[in-house]
Structure 1
């Protein structure tokens, strides 16, 4: 370069420097775009529309303040028209306005920008909709004046059938099939309904007007301010909303009944349902009223809207959605029928309602700044939903049941292909996949761990301060930590960063030597590999009694504790030592052989709490799957639970047994019958105690347990259970109100019936399909779908899978029938491959399509199958399913390694026979 400069004239120097400056700028733009840090302001850096493609966030030179939205849905033609006028603050020099829109037809003639302090109207010279990025780019010939103006846009769209954006759901009224119009905007689907700044931080107020058929009910976030009827149509206007994010805007139009109540401070609460189902909303209504009052006290901030509507939608992808003032639900998550819903359905309604109403404060009033902080919404709402349910229904022992949430978080986070609680989101297409057990269940579990460490009162007071400080605004994880540090005086940020900013969790190995306990932490991976993570771990332990406890933070890789100095007793004098007391910590514990043996004896003597009995079993199962502990050791521990009575512990014992049953059938098929007999023996006492019919005055937990125990025995093909189920099912076919088959035991009967079904003996299958077709209760339909898939006959399995894609099964419900028997795995995999194009087209992006992948792929247990799956999806992977595919393949590898480990256990056969039939066999 220096040689060239010496021979240039002055004018050439100027040309060259301009060239260098241009190229340098272009190179800088490329670098910044690759790094996902493309400048968000400064008009001079944007010269062409193409420069906006592929950006993770919208540019910030225009800020929305208020939306005036008018929508006119056509429920017969399944389309809608609309217009939006957006009060817009132009804060930087620009010739562009960039906002979100997708699958909308923009009427270019209707697009204009009108500055407030000028009579001039700016019309864009170019309007381009970039669907792959979900953005609408408006280019103007002149620089727009800085200040507030109004952006007006007219548009049309389709009421789609994909349960996102502005979509249609179907229902039957007076024998006629009808459509309703529904919105589902989280995470990034408001842009499918109207052009907007579809990011959580872009909060604004919303004034909504709907033009709808006169006979229909039209609901939105706020109460109706005015309604005018014009013959067959009416115009409904709603009060302007408080400031909120676009993903919380909601509209529902259809025919509905409702039940109504009020909180003690006058908030009107309604539960809407299909006509004729209003009474099924009474339980949810009761829960909602009590929960609003509870949260008002807990957060020290009243509910911020004048009304709360909750509505059951027949077609709904998620469980529920916390739209401000208009919460939408699947029917199964909101409606409860006293005669035909099971105890599990009742509990689910309570948990989902308390979860969604928590969002009215934690999510709606205070909103995450970006999807990286999704866990702030979902983890917190999951945790506090249990706090609310425990307050309303203490007899449910809901905090013991919470351990099932923790277990799901631990199982996903034990994968190498997991992700941190705080995960960078670089494109809208990546958001759906993080609505998973990490954001919800791990998030809730680390919040529970933190609350336990800080104490309930400091934690609650800090949360109230956080809500007040950030009300009607946005917050990041660091803002919550700051509030908790100030309220507790503890180093919360330092402690919690190790849990939110890195994936995975630790296993704490504990060994006894002399009078000391040695602790070592390492990252736990279900594959058995060693990870590199390190955590600040709140250790709790007790020695022989819950009166002797020790708490400390394990901040290094290893530490030694002198028991005499700390607890005044020797290791030898302790009848047992238990870490992670009551399972409040999000980590696993691996005991040396002597300590593990003492805990097994303590379980047999029933000296430990239910939460600790649960945790010991769960950790042992995880260590066995990771090939860090032999199956014989796990089975011996399971044998200590023969007298177990607690619902949550037995529920975990059931799920563990069914997983071991499958893996033994893969690894050592000659031992399968003996292993099954051992598991049947484990559950027979409980089955005999509970029986098939509900008892007057029995506990909610007994009702839950009865269904799970009998279903497990049916899956294990216990002859006594199969025969009794068949007898009761025949009575039920003739009398749907018979007390011989109450809702809690129906799934058990359905599973039992399907165990005997084959292509040459179809009567049970046909009978179940008849029950499915005759019921209009969503909970009953999903019960049947999940039972149909359990049939071991491959021909019937294929029929069931094809039935899932038929018009008789709502798209949202198909996933319930994917969990096939071990014998049906290969059939399900071939079916998935054959139907993949149709499944992808039907479900597109979103978490439902990930369920198809994980449910069908994860149960396999061979390296060859893992390779086959990888090859199939290699050309078909998209951002919305990429992580799920990797996780599912990793699970197949884990299962394959576990099979190899079991195959190499020399004394397994003798151990299984002894457990199944006793020492004298």
Structure 2
């Protein structure tokens, strides 16, 4: 039965069309657009111009029939396919090596679109977002408008886009073509080692990031935009590390205790800090973790965790960082609940978030919050939290009795 499950998808598609018309300053080019759900569809969804096809799971949603996370996924899929009406259909890549002009933009704008339509979900999106961060949102938008108008009903290459963006950006001493091509055409992403003295930040020795520590760098280099901020300078600023540089330093106006060298995840880079900076970050997280955005907290933890696996960081530094999680639990922490012999420590981290959220059935929770609740309950029961197990048994008995009636 699909009755009552199409309204959310239809409303999202209508609003997504309006969003892309507004952003691009180009009206949708056809007289109508249809969204068709198919019982059996291998591709999942396809952006046919004016007739977008979906698996039912990518188009249909109704509160109470599916989990909240699926609502977000449906919105993302619809916004992705609507984005293709401009990026892919109106302007198509010249050849397959520039397929990213279709898929990269559709993937980027699916997050941007959902964030506009449902701001309470707080969804944000890597390379295109990074370019927008140092070009500026308005200049980037003007570049996209010019690009879509210039190559409408034609074929474009990646170089065509970057020529337009570079013209609007007016970067000094930085070739946008070189920056973008390095990230798009080279495998992997860069890893940097960052240290902080009282009045100076230093970025050492960029290499290609490998998750396994035994692998050697292959000489791949990038020109890296480094968005950074410190405790004494909370506003994000930008410095560059060129591909030709093995080390770059810059002074600070005030003495600082810690530095975050990937503000809000605006750069596609993995960041390893020295022991002193990790210690100061851990202290800050414990005293007031809200100084960092959720994205920054997640990236600090994710990078630190991966560097411990590759033996580049002592496990104690990582454990000190996640102490704060007993007061702030996010979905991303689910990635860290897999290690054996840490169950007592995990129970400590989960205890207070579980007490606050637990089995609460507040209907005003966002999809992200209900998704977080699922993660909390699953992990609390897996870790043998007595209240969680008791509540699960009670609800199971209620469900059985209701089914018998």
Tell me which residue corresponds to 1:519: 203
* 8 Å Cα contact 1:524-1:530 kept in structure 2: no
1:625 to 303, 309, 320: 309
Displacement after TM superposition at 1:733 (Å): 4.0
Structure 1 residues 711 and 377: CA distance shift in structure 2, 3 A: farther
* 8 Å Cα contact 1:518-1:561 kept in structure 2: yes
Displacement after TM superposition at 1:576 (Å): 1.9
Displacement after TM superposition at 1:502 (Å): 0.8
Displacement after TM superposition at 1:393 (Å): 1.1
Tell me which residue corresponds to 2:247: 559
Tell me, in whole angstroms, the C-alpha distance in 2 between the residues paired with 1:545 and 1:615: 21
Tell me which residue corresponds to 1:690: 357
Tell me which residue corresponds to 1:644: 328
Cα deviations across residues 200-224 of structure 1 (Å, max 9, x unaligned)?
xxxxxxxxxxxxxxxxxxxxxxxxx
Tell me, in whole angstroms, the C-alpha distance in 2 between the residues paired with 1:357 and 1:717: 45
Tell me which residue corresponds to 1:582: 264
Q: Where do 1:243-322 residues align within 5 Å?
A: 276-322=1-47
Displacement after TM superposition at 1:632 (Å): 2.9
| Unaligned stretches of 5+ residues in structure 2 | none
Question: Secondary structure at the residue paired with 2:374?
Answer: helix
Structure 1 residues 347 and 493: CA distance shift in structure 2, 3 A: same
Tell me, in whole angstroms, the C-alpha distance in 2 between the residues paired with 1:359 and 1:711: 37
* 8 Å Cα contact 1:511-1:517 kept in structure 2: yes
Q: Where do 1:169-184 residues align within 5 Å?
A: none
Tell me which residue corresponds to 1:345: 70
Displacement after TM superposition at 1:317 (Å): 2.9
* 8 Å Cα contact 1:383-1:447 kept in structure 2: yes
Larger radius of gyration: 1
Tell me which residue corresponds to 1:543: 230
Count of residues in Structure 1 that have an aligned counterpart in Structure 2:
395
Tell me, in whole angstroms, the C-alpha distance in 2 between the residues paired with 1:450 and 1:517: 23
* 8 Å Cα contact 2:115-2:123 kept in structure 1: yes
1:595 to 261, 266, 277: 277
* 8 Å Cα contact 2:331-2:371 kept in structure 1: no
Tell me, in whole angstroms, the C-alpha distance in 1 between the residues paired with 2:294 and 2:376: 18
Tell me which residue corresponds to 1:611: 295
Question: Secondary structure at the residue paired with 2:166?
Answer: helix
1:463 to 137, 144, 152: 144
Question: Secondary structure at the residue paired with 1:279?
Answer: coil
Cα deviations across residues 147-174 of structure 1 (Å, max 9, x unaligned)?
xxxxxxxxxxxxxxxxxxxxxxxxxxxx
Displacement after TM superposition at 1:699 (Å): 3.8
* 8 Å Cα contact 2:358-2:373 kept in structure 1: yes
Displacement after TM superposition at 1:732 (Å): 2.4
Structure 1 residues 501 and 698: CA distance shift in structure 2, 3 A: closer
Displacement after TM superposition at 1:545 (Å): 4.4
Cα deviations across residues 756-803 of structure 1 (Å, max 9, x unaligned)?
xxxxxxxxxxxxxxxxxxxxxxxxxxxxxxxxxxxxxxxxxxxxxxxx
Displacement after TM superposition at 1:514 (Å): 6.1
Question: Secondary structure at the residue paired with 1:307?
Answer: coil
Tell me which residue corresponds to 2:336: 656
Tell me which residue corresponds to 1:892: none
Tell me, in whole angstroms, the C-alpha distance in 2 between the residues paired with 1:380 and 1:681: 42
Tell me which residue corresponds to 2:371: 704
Tell me which residue corresponds to 1:746: none
Displacement after TM superposition at 1:446 (Å): 0.5
* 8 Å Cα contact 1:478-1:493 kept in structure 2: yes
Tell me which residue corresponds to 1:728: 395
* 8 Å Cα contact 1:542-1:578 kept in structure 2: yes
Tell me which residue corresponds to 1:253: none
Displacement after TM superposition at 1:450 (Å): 0.3
Structure 1 residues 447 and 728: CA distance shift in structure 2, 3 A: same
Tell me, in whole angstroms, the C-alpha distance in 2 between the residues paired with 1:497 and 1:697: 44
* 8 Å Cα contact 1:309-1:325 kept in structure 2: yes
Tell me, in whole angstroms, the C-alpha distance in 1 between the residues paired with 2:384 and 2:88: 46
* 8 Å Cα contact 1:294-1:388 kept in structure 2: yes
Tell me, in whole angstroms, the C-alpha distance in 2 between the residues paired with 1:344 and 1:714: 20
Question: Secondary structure at the residue paired with 1:280?
Answer: coil
* 8 Å Cα contact 1:507-1:523 kept in structure 2: yes
Tell me which residue corresponds to 2:88: 363
Structure 1 residues 327 and 545: CA distance shift in structure 2, 3 A: farther
Tell me, in whole angstroms, the C-alpha distance in 1 between the residues paired with 2:264 and 2:234: 13
Question: Secondary structure at the residue paired with 2:88?
Answer: coil
Tell me, in whole angstroms, the C-alpha distance in 1 between the residues paired with 2:16 and 2:235: 37
* 8 Å Cα contact 2:227-2:262 kept in structure 1: yes
Tell me, in whole angstroms, the C-alpha distance in 1 between the residues paired with 2:333 and 2:245: 32
More strand by share: 1
Structure 1 residues 324 and 632: CA distance shift in structure 2, 3 A: same
Question: Secondary structure at the residue paired with 2:6?
Answer: helix
Displacement after TM superposition at 1:306 (Å): 1.3
* 8 Å Cα contact 2:24-2:141 kept in structure 1: yes
Q: Where do 1:405-444 residues align within 5 Å?
A: none
* 8 Å Cα contact 1:516-1:560 kept in structure 2: no
Cα deviations across residues 666-711 of structure 1 (Å, max 9, x unaligned)?
xxxxxx2xx0121122122222211224214334432221112112
Cα deviations across residues 90-132 of structure 1 (Å, max 9, x unaligned)?
xxxxxxxxxxxxxxxxxxxxxxxxxxxxxxxxxxxxxxxxxxx
Tell me, in whole angstroms, the C-alpha distance in 2 between the residues paired with 1:390 and 1:547: 24
Question: Secondary structure at the residue paired with 1:604?
Answer: helix
Tell me, in whole angstroms, the C-alpha distance in 1 between the residues paired with 2:7 and 2:232: 45
Q: Where do 1:744-823 residues align within 5 Å?
A: none
Which structure 1 residue ranges, 4+ long, deviate > 6 Å from structure 2?
Answer: none
Structure 1 residues 684 and 514: CA distance shift in structure 2, 3 A: closer
Displacement after TM superposition at 1:504 (Å): 1.0
* 8 Å Cα contact 1:638-1:653 kept in structure 2: no
Tell me, in whole angstroms, the C-alpha distance in 2 between the residues paired with 1:655 and 1:541: 26
Cα deviations across residues 62-109 of structure 1 (Å, max 9, x unaligned)?
xxxxxxxxxxxxxxxxxxxxxxxxxxxxxxxxxxxxxxxxxxxxxxxx
Tell me, in whole angstroms, the C-alpha distance in 1 between the residues paired with 2:57 and 2:190: 36
* 8 Å Cα contact 1:690-1:702 kept in structure 2: no
| Unaligned stretches of 5+ residues in structure 1 | 1-275, 403-444, 666-671, 739-921
Tell me which residue corresponds to 1:569: 254
Tell me, in whole angstroms, the C-alpha distance in 1 between the residues paired with 2:169 and 2:86: 22
Tell me which residue corresponds to 2:192: 508
Displacement after TM superposition at 1:499 (Å): 0.8
* 8 Å Cα contact 2:193-2:272 kept in structure 1: yes
Displacement after TM superposition at 1:644 (Å): 0.7
Displacement after TM superposition at 1:303 (Å): 1.0
Cα deviations across residues 792-851 of structure 1 (Å, max 9, x unaligned)?
xxxxxxxxxxxxxxxxxxxxxxxxxxxxxxxxxxxxxxxxxxxxxxxxxxxxxxxxxxxx
* 8 Å Cα contact 1:319-1:352 kept in structure 2: no
Structure 1 residues 516 and 635: CA distance shift in structure 2, 3 A: same
Displacement after TM superposition at 1:492 (Å): 1.6
Tell me, in whole angstroms, the C-alpha distance in 2 between the residues paired with 1:638 and 1:305: 52
Question: Secondary structure at the residue paired with 2:337?
Answer: helix
Tell me, in whole angstroms, the C-alpha distance in 2 between the residues paired with 1:495 and 1:466: 19
